[in-house]
Copies of this chain bind each other. A is one copy, B any other.
Amino acid sequence: MKQILSVQNPLIKQCKKLKAKKYREEQGQFLIDGQHLLQEAISAQLSLEYIFYDPNRCDPPQNTDAECIECSEEIIRALSDTPSPQGIIAVAEMPNEPDSDLSAGRYVLLDDVQDPGNVGTIIRTAEVLGMTGVVLGEHCADVYSSKTIRSTQGALFHIPILRRNLQAFTEELHQHHIPLLATAMNGESLEEAEVPLNFAILFGNEGKGVSPALLDKAAQLLTIPMAGKTESLNVTVAAGIVLYRLHSKR
């Protein structure tokens, strides 16, 4: 059983760099922090390279081919982004993007959603409500940051995530006759609207909403009926309501 006790160990120093997006993209790897997320990754058969664990806090998982390395609490702290890490952190390979068969499906498109917690929460909701995949535009928060992953509660391992230029992707959808839906103030009532079986639904930036150039391409606009003085819902809540409604209309 391999053991590392110094944060100065070259492998630890290298893995610690995966806290930065640039290095994650270069390496095609990312960190998975904590027992629950790790089990979700294993159950989804994600490829794991190393598992670092503090033997005073937990046992290494049995059901993995990853190299399990005993290490100190200090090393776990160095690798973690949370104030009280659980004592286990893995290095995982980013999964290959699935071939998206755009002949059918129910896609969630995120345009410039900035907050990693929001991106993660919408991925979690999309997975729970049976969507086919989530497509992140180029300016969204990184799906492999620790905060995004934590907010997904592991859902990102169970649903295809694509990263695309959304202008180009909406063209592709159009060619495949998959209609683009979006939410807007003056659309059809979400409750009354007839929705197609296959679709892509677009959600936008926390402050500015969906960019006008993309909104122009929407075939159908949906409105969540509102009864109060506050002008809008949080984007994760709006997405939750719309995805629930579309899911229940199947």
Contact = CB atoms under 8 A, between A and B. Distances in A.
B244 A244 contact: yes
Interface string A196-210: 000000000000000
A240 B234 CA distance: 10
Contact of A228 (B127, B231, B233, B236): B127
Interface residues of A, number: 38
Nearest to A248: B191
Number of identical protomers: 2
Interface in A194-250: 224-234, 236-241, 244-245, 247-248
A234 to B, nearest CB: 5
A64 interface: no
Interface stretch (A49-57, A139-147, A150-158, A179-187): A150-158
Contacts of A130: 227-228
B237 A224 contact: no
Contact of A128 (B127, B154, B226): B226
A129 B228 contact: yes
Given A127-B228, A152-B230, A240-B240, 15 more contacts: A117-B117, A121-B234, A124-B230, A124-B233, A125-B234, A128-B227, A128-B228, A129-B227, A155-B228, A159-B228, A191-B248, A234-B240, A236-B240, A238-B240, A241-B244
Interface of A: 43, 117, 121, 124-125, 127-130, 151-155, 158-159, 191, 224-234, 236-241, 244-245, 247-248
For the complex of A and B, 10 pairs with smallest distance between CB atoms? A130-B227, A237-B240, A127-B228, A155-B230, A158-B229, A241-B244, A128-B228, A240-B240, A121-B234, A191-B248
